[in-house]
C-alpha cells in the first residue's frame, strides 16, 4: 500500500473520514432552525440513493503522470456538504498558484513528500513540507502552491467544505494572467510588456520543472508568518482511541485551530471488527478507503437502509440526518479515513446512548413493543 500504511499500520483496512457542519441560513427574525429539517429530495424517496463513488477508478484530469480525480455532487449527488479530490504529482511537478473562492481545503498526505506555500489576504505566508500522515488546511480565498519533493510521486486527498465545489473550477494564476492584456500586466507590475512574452495563454494547472531544493526558499518580502500554522502532523500523535477491533486518530480545531470547518479521522479496523452504530448530530460524513474494503450500511427513517461495499480508493458519504454502520469484511485490518464538516468532532454511539437511558425506556418499552409487533 502507501508509505502511510508501512509507517503506521499492519496489513490494514484504514478509512479516512471527514465532517463539516450544515449551517442554517439566518433570517431577519424568528427561529430559522427548521431550515435544517427541510427534506432533501435526494434522500427523501422510498429508497435511499447510492452513497458510494469509485474515486480512484475515475478519469479526472490527467497531465503526464499527474492527475486530479474529484467527487462532487456531479459524481455523487448525495454529497452536498463535502467534495473530495485524489491528486498525484510526479517529482518536480507543481499544482500552480491558485485559490478557492467558495471552499476551504483540508488535505491528508498518503504517499511521498509535498511542499506547500500559502498566502493569506493579510500578507502573511507560510511554507511547509509534508510527509505521509500529515494534514494541511487552507481557508477560503488563501492562495496556495503544491510541489512534489524528492524523486518519488506524491499522493494526497483533498477535502473541500462545499459539495458543489469543483477542483477544476479554481482560480489559477496562469488562467488569470494569460487572459489579461500585456499592457495592463506591464502597468500593474511596473515591467516592460516584453517581460510577459512567454506567459502561457491558457491555464497550466500542473506545471513541470526541476525538483525543488531541500531548503525552502525565502519569499522576496522575507518571512511574515501567520499566527496559526497550516500544518498538523496527525499520524505522529498517539491514537485518540484504542478499542477492541481497532484504533482511531482524530483532528479538529481543538488540536489544529486553523481548521475551523473540517475535522478528520483515521480509523483502523481489524478483521471482522465493527464501528458501532453511531451518528453525527451536527455534520455530514465523507469516507475514503486507504486500503482493504469495508461494508457500510446507511440507515434512514421508515425502515429504509442501504448497504454498500467500499474498496480501496472508494468514497462514501453519509448525510447528517442518516446513520452509518461500518463492518470490516476481509481478513486484513482496514485503514480508513473519515472527514466531518465541523470544527469539532462529535458523535453519538449507540451503546453509550443506550447506557444513559432509563432501563424501562429500553426494556419495558422498546423490547415489549418489538414483541408486540411480532
- One CATH from 2.60.120.10, 1.10.10.60, 2.40.50.100, 2.60.200.20 for 3-373: 2.60.120.10
Q: Is 142 annotated as a binding residue?
A: no
Distance between CA atoms of 313 and 132, rounded to whole angstroms? 16
* Nearest partner of 291 among 4, 12, 6, judged by Cα: 12
25-49 burial by CB neighbour count: b if 16+ within 10 A, else e? eeeeeeeeeeeeeeeeeebeeeebe
- DSSP string covering 183-204: HHHHHHHT--GGGGTT--SS--
Q: How many CB atoms lie within 10 A of CB 228?
A: 15
Spell out, as residue ranges, where the chain has pLDDT lower than 70. Answer: 1-13, 18, 20-38, 280, 321-374
Distance between CA atoms of 292 and 333, rounded to whole angstroms? 7
Distance between CA atoms of 357 and 167, rounded to whole angstroms? 45
Predicted confidence at residue 244, as pLDDT, reads: 87
Predicted confidence at residue 21, as pLDDT, reads: 56
Q: Hunting for cell 508509505 — which residue is that? A: 3
Q: Is 302 annotated as a binding residue?
A: no
Q: Is 100 annotated as a binding residue?
A: yes
Tens of pLDDT, residues 6-62: 544 445 567 788 676 544 333 334 444 445 566 777 877 778 888 999 999 999 999
Q: Is 210 annotated as a binding residue?
A: no
pTM of the prediction? 0.83
Distance between CA atoms of 63 and 266, rounded to whole angstroms? 30
Q: Is 230 annotated as a binding residue?
A: no
The size of the chain, in residues, is 374
Predicted confidence at residue 269, as pLDDT, reads: 87
Q: How many CB atoms lie within 10 A of CB 163?
A: 24
Catalytic residues: 95, 98, 100, 105, 144, 167
Distance between CA atoms of 8 and 102, rounded to whole angstroms? 34
Q: Where are the beta strands (DSSP E) in 139-178?
A: 143-149, 154-160, 171-172
Contact 137, 109 (CB under 8 A): no
Report CA dihedral (161, 162, 166, 172) to the nearest 10 degrees: -60
Q: How many CB atoms lie within 10 A of CB 101?
A: 10
Predicted confidence at residue 338, as pLDDT, reads: 61
- Domains of the chain by residue range: 3-373
Predicted confidence at residue 217, as pLDDT, reads: 86
Tens of pLDDT, residues 58-113: 999 999 999 999 999 999 999 999 999 999 999 999 999 999 999 999 999 999 99
Predicted confidence at residue 335, as pLDDT, reads: 54
* Nearest partner of 318 among 292, 291, 336, judged by Cα: 336
Contact 129, 137 (CB under 8 A): no
Report CA dihedral (41, 102, 206, 57) to the nearest 10 degrees: -20
Q: Hunting for cell 469543483 — which residue is that? A: 166
* Nearest partner of 122 among 225, 243, 272, judged by Cα: 225
* Nearest partner of 229 among 111, 136, 365, 340, judged by Cα: 136
Amino acid at each position: 500500500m502507501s508509505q502511510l500504511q508501512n509507517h503506521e499500520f499492519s496489513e490494514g483496512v484504514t478509512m479516512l473520514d471527514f465532517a463539516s457542519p450544515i449551517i442554517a441560513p439566518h433570517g431577519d427574525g424568528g427561529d430559522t432552525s427548521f431550515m435544517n429539517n427541510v427534506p432533501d429530495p435526494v434522500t427523501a424517496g422510498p429508497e435511499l440513493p447510492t452513497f458510494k463513488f469509485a474515486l480512484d477508478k475515475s478519469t479526472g484530469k490527467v497531465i503526464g503522470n499527474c492527475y486530479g480525480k474529484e467527487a462532487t455532487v456531479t459524481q455523487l449527488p448525495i454529497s452536498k456538504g463535502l467534495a473530495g479530490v485524489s491528486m498525484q504529482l510526479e517529482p518536480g511537478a507543481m499544482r500552480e498558484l491558485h485559490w478557492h473562492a467558495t471552499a476551504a481545503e483540508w488535505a491528508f498526505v498518503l504517499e511521498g513528500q509535498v511542499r506547500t506555500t500559502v498566502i493569506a489576504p493579510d500578507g502573511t505566508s507560510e511554507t511547509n513540507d509534508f510527509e505521509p500522515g500529515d494534514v494541511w488546511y487552507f481557508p477560503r480565498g488563501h492562495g496556495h502552491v503544491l510541489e512534489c519533493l524528492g524523486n518519488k510521486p506524491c499522493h494526497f486527498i483533498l477535502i473541500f467544505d462545499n459539495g458543489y465545489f469543483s477542483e477544476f473550477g479554481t482560480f489559477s494564476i496562469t488562467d488569470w494572467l494569460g487572459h489579461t492584456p500585456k499592457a495592463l500586466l506591464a502597468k500593474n507590475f511596473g515591467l516592460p510588456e516584453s517581460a510577459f512574452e512567454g506567459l502561457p495563454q491558457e491555464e497550466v494547472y500542473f506545471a513541470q520543472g526541476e525538483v525543488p531544493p531541500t531548503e525552502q526558499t525565502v519569499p522576496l518580502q522575507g518571512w511574515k508568518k501567520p499566527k496559526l500554522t497550516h500544518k498538523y502532523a496527525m499520524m505522529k500523535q498517539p491514537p485518540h482511541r484504542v478499542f477492541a477491533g481497532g484504533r482511531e486518530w482524530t483532528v479538529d480545531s481543538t488540536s489544529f485551530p486553523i481548521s475551523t470547518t473540517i475535522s478528520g479521522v483515521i480509523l483502523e479496523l481489524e478483521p471482522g471488527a465493527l464501528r458501532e452504530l453511531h451518528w453525527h448530530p451536527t455534520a455530514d460524513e465523507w469516507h475514503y478507503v486507504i486500503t482493504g474494503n469495508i461494508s457500510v450500511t446507511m440507515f434512514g427513517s421508515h425502515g429504509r437502509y442501504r448497504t454498500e461495499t467500499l474498496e480501496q480508493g472508494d468514497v462514501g458519504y453519509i448525510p447528517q440526518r442518516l446513520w452509518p454502520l461500518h463492518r470490516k469484511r476481509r481478513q486484513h485490518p482496514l485503514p480508513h479515513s473519515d472527514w466531518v464538516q465541523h470544527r469539532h468532532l462529535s458523535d453519538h454511539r449507540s451503546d453509550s446512548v443506550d447506557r444513559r437511558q432509563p432501563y424501562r425506556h429500553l426494556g419495558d418499552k422498546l423490547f415489549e413493543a418489538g414483541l408486540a409487533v411480532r
